[in-house]
Amino acid sequence: MSGLINRHAVWAIYKFEMSRAIRTIWQSLVTPVITTSLYFIVFGAAIGGSIQPGATGNVPYGAFIVPGLIMLSLFTQSIFNASFGIFFPKFTGTIYELLSAPVSPFETVIGYVGAAATKSIVLGLVILATAAFFVPIQILHPFWMAAFLILIATTFCLFGFIIGIWGQNFEQIQFIPMLIVTPLTFLGGAFYSVTMLPEPWQTITHFNPVVYLIEGFRWSFYGTTDIGVGVSLAATLGFFFVCLGIVWWIFRTGYRLKT
């Protein structure tokens, strides 16, 4: 199968996208470190003291919010990285060179989404390392932590790739992650346990798809979850295959690629 893939084309796209991140390496690293530190100061110190350990599955609140912090950055940065990566060729007109080159849609997606996912995963690890300076980190299921991290990063990069093709200007690209994904993350148990909510909000929260992604990732750390880990994994895989199907349809129909 590897002989059927134009590895030079994939590597060229991947290397070009990664070079843009390397040029802003300090901003890419310093910003999440500062942001994570501020979250721990505000949520961990100011709010954490008033939350009983039993409300977070006997996990200290500072440690409890670490998976949520990683997911909050992973969702938005994955979308931004992938959407801007494919939007700029559309914006500058170089997308036509890519479409006329001997590069298959599969190879194009691997290059763009692979680079965006790499940046997001590195960002998640940077946030994890930063959090370790504030609270003791315990990862009971490291394999599943890595699996959820890679799967969620790849899924949201595919989602961002779709947004980048759909968007016709910078405002449209920023609309979904800023006004939809971020609020859903804050309302999806990133900084609190779903069981802390009164009814009917607790039931309503279960209709938020982001809840299942965060809960599955948190389970890999502490072995506790408000939702079954199997349900979380199934929801994540379902979202992944939906995004994959939409990307396939886009290249099959040429939706907003050739116009």
**pLDDT for 212-247, tens place per residue?**
999 999 999 999 888 889 999 999 999 999 999 999
Q: What is the phi/psi pair of residue 224, to 5°?
A: -120, 145
Contacts of residue 28, Cβ cutoff 8 Å, sequence gap at least 6:
21, 119, 123
Identify the CA nearest to 8 among candidates 119, 143, 102.
Answer: 102
Mean of the pLDDT values across residues 197-206? Answer: 86
Q: Please check whether residue 130 is in contact with residue 36, taking contact to mean a CB–CB distance below 8 angstroms.
A: yes
The separation between the first and the last C-alpha atoms of the chain, rounded to the nearest angstrom, is 32
Interval 43-101: pLDDT, tens = 766 676 667 666 677 788 888 889 999 998 899 889 998 999 999 888 888 888 888 88
Residue with tokens 């939706």: 255
What percentage of the chain reaches a pLDDT higher than 70?
93
Residue 43: strand, helix, or coil: helix
- pTM here is 0.90
Q: Would you state the pLDDT for residue 1?
A: 40
Whole-number pLDDT of residue 172? 86
